[in-house]
Chain A
Amino acid sequence: MTVDTLCRFERALEGLEVGFERVAAAEASERIETIVEEPTVGASLPFEGVSLPDDVTTEPTTAELEAARTGVTPVSFAIAEYGTVAVESTADGAEPISLYPDRHVAVVAESDVVPDLSAGFTRLAEGFDAGRDSVVFATGRSATADMGDLVHGVHGPGDVDVIVLEDR
C-alpha cells in the first residue's frame, strides 16, 4: 500500500460518487454509526479491534434483510484503479447483506487496497486457493439505463460508502 494507491482509490471512488472515509481502527465503529441509515444489518468485521456498532443486526432474518436501509460488510480487498471492492460469498451472508439494502458500507483494511486489476487478480487467486472461491467485484452503485435514462439503485444499492482502516 502506497500513498499513491490510496489517492488513486479515493479519486476512483469520487468518480463513482461513492463515499470514502479513512479512519483508525479504534474509531471505525463510531464512524460507521454516523454513516448508516437505520435499520442496519451487517456481517461481522474480522479486523482486530474493530466491531460493528451495537445496533447493527448480524445474522439477520430475511424480514430484517428486506427492511434494512443499510448493509455493512467487510471486503477482502479493494482495487484502487477502478474503485472496486471484493465482496466474498461467506456463510454469514456478506453477499446478500451487501446487495439487498439501499446502502452498502464496505469496510477494508488499508493494507488490502491493491493498485490495479492485476494485483486484484493475484489476491483473488490466493483466496481461491484457500477455498474462498466466490467473490463479487463491486464497483460503484447499481445502475441501469434500460428505462431510458441512467438511474442508480436498481436491484443493488444506490448508495455505497467505503471505509478504509488506516492502521490495518
Chain B
Amino acid sequence: MAQRTRSEQADRIRHLLETEGPAIHAHASASNARRKETYGGTDDLESLRTDARAIKEDAIDRLPELIETVREAVEANGGTVYVADDAADANAYVADVVEQNGPADETAEPSVVKSKSMTTEEIDLNDALEGEGIDVTETDLGEWVLQVADDTPSHIVGPAMHISRPEIADLFNERFDPDDRFETAEELTRFARDHLGEIITGADVGITGANFVVADSGTIALVTNEGNARKCAVTPDTHVAVAGIEKLIPTLSDLEPFVDIIAKSATGQPISQYVTMLSPPTDSPTLDFDAPDEPITAGEGGAADETGASGTGDPDRDFHLVLLDNGRTDMREDDQLRETLYCIRCGACSNSCANFQSVGGHGFGGETYSGGIATGWEAGVHGQESAAEFNDLCTGCTNCVDACPVKIDIPWINTVVRDRVNRSAESEPHDFLVDGLTPDVEEGGMDLGKRFFGNIGTVAQAASATAPVSNWLADAGPVRAVLERTLGIDRRRDLPSFQRESLVDWFETRGGEAASRKRAAASSERAAQADARDDGADVDREAVLYPDVYTNYVDVDRGKAAVRTLEALGVPVRVPDLPESGRAALSQGMIATADRQASRLYAALAEDLDAGRDVVVIEPSDLAAMHREYERLLPEGSYERLRDGSYEICEYVYGLLENGADPDALSTGDGSQPVAYHSHCQQRTLDLEAPTVAVLESCGYAPETSNAECCGMAGSFGYKQEYYELSIDVGERLAGQVEDAETVVASGTSCGDQLETLLERDVPHPIELLAPGGYRT
C-alpha cells in the first residue's frame, strides 16, 4: 500500500489540481494534439515505430557487448568512458573530472554548465557537485527556471511545464530585480539568454546528457530546440556526457528512425531544431573567452589541421562519457521491466494521459520520472516504493499505447508493478466484508479497496441476488461511511444500482437460445420478403453475447438491446453464464486472479469458437482484455483464436450491415439527428471507434465524436476516495464537449456512469439507441 493515507493523497491531488493542473493541462494537451496531427501526417509512422522498437530490443539484448564497443570507439577518438554502478559512483567520477579541469587558480570555484538531462536528475548530480564546492548552472531555460525556483521537474521533456509565465515573471522579478520588470516570454527569454550566455562562456566544464549513443563510432546524439546543449558541448574544453547504459544503439544507421520520430512523439514537431551528433573530442576549436583577442583557431589543433578529418579532434578538448547503470542491468534481467529500457523519454505517454494532464508529474511521478512510463523507471532505478506512490494514477486506459514511439506496453508495466506492490504489502487483519466476497488467488495484505474492486463480479452477483435491498442498504448514510473508511469508496459517488434479474436470467426466461433462433429466423424472413431481390440478408452467423459483470447485473438494458438488435438483423444469440474476463482484477494489479479468469473464460468459450460462433462483447474494457492482455495470459493459439473470434457489439453490427443486413430493422434516425458519441479509451486503442460511428451514420444519425482523452471514471478509479476529485476534473473536460447535444451515447459503462453524473441525464450505449423499439428515457 502506498505510504500516504487516502485522505492525504486526496489532499495532495486537490492541491495539484488547483495549483499546477491548469498550466500542465494547457501545455500537455497542446503537445498531445500536435503529436496526433503529426503522427497522422506521417505515412511511414508504423514502420518507423516498428524499426525503432526492433533496434532497441536488439540493443538491450546486446548491451554488454555494446558497452565494450563504445569504450573502444570513444577511446580511439581520444575520450574516456566510465561505467558507473550507481548514483554515488557517477557523481564522484564527474566531480573528480570537474576538479581536475577547474580554473588554474585553485582557490577559485570550478564552474559547470549543464544542458537538460533527466539522467543527471536521477542521480542528483547538481546537489553532489555543489556539495563539492562546484558551481552548477542549468542552461535549458525550463531547467534553469526550476533551479532558480528550487523546484523539481514536472515533465520529462518540459520540466517547468507546471509554472505559468506570470509565475516565472514574478520569480525572476524578485530574484534578479531588473530595472524594467519582466512581463513577456520574449523579455524573460532574452534575459535568460544573456545571463546564461555569460555563464557558459566562463564555464570550465560542460555537462550534457545524451538522447542516444552510437556505440561503434562513439557518437552522442543530443536532441534540443534551444541550442544550449550545443553551446555546453562546444564551448568549454571539457565535455562530460552522462547517459544511462540503455541509450546505446549499435550503429549510425540505427539512429535514423529515432531522429525521425523523437520530435514527432515529444512535441509534434517534424524534427527538432538541433540534432547534434558529436563524436568527441570534436575538431571544433575550444573557445577561451578569457583570451578575447586570440583567434579561436589558435589552439594546438586549430586551423593547422587542414584535412579536417582528424580522428582525435582538437587536442585541447577532453571528453568523458559516463554510462550509468543504477539498476538498469537488473531491469534488463527482469522480463517485465526490460521494456522500460526501450523508452526514449519523449514524454508522449505523459501528454496523452488524462490524469497526467490534470495533475502533472508532481502528482503522477516519482523521485525523478513522471507519467505512465515512470512506474517502470522508478521501480527500476529508485525502487518499488517510489513507484508505489503514484502507480495507481495509471487507469490502464491505453491512450499512451498508440503514442509511444517504441511501442512499449506502458499499461502492462503499471499492472505488473501494481501487482508487485500488492504482494509486498504487509498483511492486514482480515476484513469480514471483503474476505467473503473475494474468491481471488492473491496473497493477503493488499489494499482492501483494490481487493474489493478486483472481485467485483462476485460482489455484483451477491448484490443482484439481494436487490433491491442491497441497493437501499448501500445508499444508506452509515453504510457509505463504512464503505469509505474500509474500502475507500468515496461517499460522493453514486453507487451502481444492481438489478434483481440479470441479463442471463432474462434471456433464459424469454426462451433462451431456441427462442432467439426463432426470432432471428423471423427477422431474416421479413427482410427477404421486404426486399424481393435480396439474398444477402441471410447472414448465417451465430453469436455468443458475453454478459460482462456490469451488463449482466447493473446495466441489463444494454444487454437486452444488444440481443434484440442481433436478432433483428437475423443473428441468433446465446447468452450463457460466463466467467469474468479478468479486467477488474487486472485494473487492481491482481494478475494471478486475472490469469485464472482468462483461462476459465477461454475454456468456457472454446466450444463456441470451434463451432464458428462469434463472441460479441458490449463492454470495451472486457474486449480489450481479450485482445491485449490475454496475449500474456493464454497460450498463443488460444489467444489468437479468441481474439480473431471476438467483436465489439457495434463493430459486429457494422459487419452485418456491410454484409447485407438491413438497417431498417433497427431504430433509425432521420439522417441528420445529432448524437454526441464518446467512445471508450481502450476501444479507441483497438481502432474500434470508427465502426460505431459508421453504424450510427448508416442508421440515420449524425454522430459527433468527443476528442477528450478520457471520461475520468476508468472502472473503479472514480469511486476511490483519493481520486474522486481528479476523476471529476477529467470528466468535466469530456462533459463540456458533449453537454450541448440532445442525445449523448457512450460505449463504456463507466464512461456512461460518469457522464450521467455530470450531465444529470441518461447516457445510453449506442446499441440502445439502435435496438428495435428505440431508446426509452
Within 8 A of A (CB), among B197-252: 197, 200-201, 217, 219, 225-228, 230-231, 234-235, 252
Q: B residues within 8 A CB of A7?
A: none
CB distance from A9 to the nearest CB of B (A): 14
- Picked from B188, B252, B295, B310, the residue with its CB within 8 Å of the CB of A147 is B188
CB distance from B476 to the nearest CB of A (A): 50
Which of A89, A96, A143, A151 has most chain B Cβ within 10 Å? A89
Is B196 an interface position by the 8 A CB rule?
A: yes
Give A132 to B278 CA distance when docked, in angstroms.
10
The number of chain B residues touching the other chain, given as a range, is 35 or more
Q: Are A133 and B273 in contact (CB under 8 A)?
A: no
Give A130 to B311 CA distance when docked, in angstroms.
9
- Picked from B217, B235, B275, B295, the residue with its CB within 8 Å of the CB of A128 is B217
* 0 or 1 for each of B714-749: is its CB under 8 Å from A? (1 = yes): 000000000000000000000000000000000000
Within 8 A of B (CB), among A80-107: 82, 84, 88-96, 99-100
For A133, the closest partner residue in chain B by CB is: B279
CB distance from B673 to the nearest CB of A (A): 41
Give A118 to B227 CA distance when docked, in angstroms.
24
For A160, the closest partner residue in chain B by CB is: B273
CB distance from B119 to the nearest CB of A (A): 20
CB distance from A73 to the nearest CB of B (A): 12
Give A153 to B225 CA distance when docked, in angstroms.
10
Give A134 to B277 CA distance when docked, in angstroms.
6
Q: A residues within 8 A CB of B200?
A: 155
Q: Are A131 and B310 in contact (CB under 8 A)?
A: yes
Q: Are A66 and B289 in contact (CB under 8 A)?
A: yes
CB distance from A45 to the nearest CB of B (A): 14
Q: Are A155 and B303 in contact (CB under 8 A)?
A: no
Is B165 an interface position by the 8 A CB rule?
A: yes
Given A59-B303, A95-B234, A99-B231: A65 and B217 within 8 A (CB)? no
For B309, the closest partner residue in chain A by CB is: A131
Given A82-B271, A136-B277: A155 and B197 within 8 A (CB)? yes
Q: Are A99 and B297 in contact (CB under 8 A)?
A: no
Within 8 A of A (CB), among B150-176: 158, 160, 164-166, 168
Q: A residues within 8 A CB of B186?
A: 149, 151
For A140, the closest partner residue in chain B by CB is: B273
Q: Are B185 and A96 in contact (CB under 8 A)?
A: no
Is B291 an interface position by the 8 A CB rule?
A: yes
Within 8 A of A (CB), among B290-322: 291-297, 301-305, 307-311, 313-314
Q: B residues within 8 A CB of A149?
A: 165, 184-186
Give A128 to B221 CA distance when docked, in angstroms.
14
Give A90 to B285 CA distance when docked, in angstroms.
8
7 examples of A-B residue contacts, CB within 8 angstroms: A59-B296, A121-B252, A132-B309, A133-B277, A136-B277, A137-B271, A148-B164
Q: Which residues of B contact A (CB under 8 A)?
A: 27, 139-142, 145, 158, 160, 164-166, 168, 184-186, 188-189, 192-193, 196-197, 200-201, 217, 219, 225-228, 230-231, 234-235, 252-253, 255-256, 259-260, 270-280, 282-285, 287-289, 291-297, 301-305, 307-311, 313-314
Q: Which residues of A contact B (CB under 8 A)?
A: 59-63, 65-66, 82, 84, 88-96, 99-100, 117-118, 121, 124-125, 128, 130-151, 153-157
* New A-B contacts (13) at CB < 8 Å, excluding given A66-B289, A147-B189: A82-B271, A91-B314, A131-B309, A141-B273, A142-B226, A142-B227, A142-B273, A146-B160, A147-B188, A147-B192, A148-B164, A151-B189, A156-B273
Q: List 9 A-B pairs, minimum CB-CB distance, nearest first.
A: A148-B165, A156-B227, A131-B309, A63-B292, A146-B141, A149-B185, A155-B227, A146-B142, A133-B279
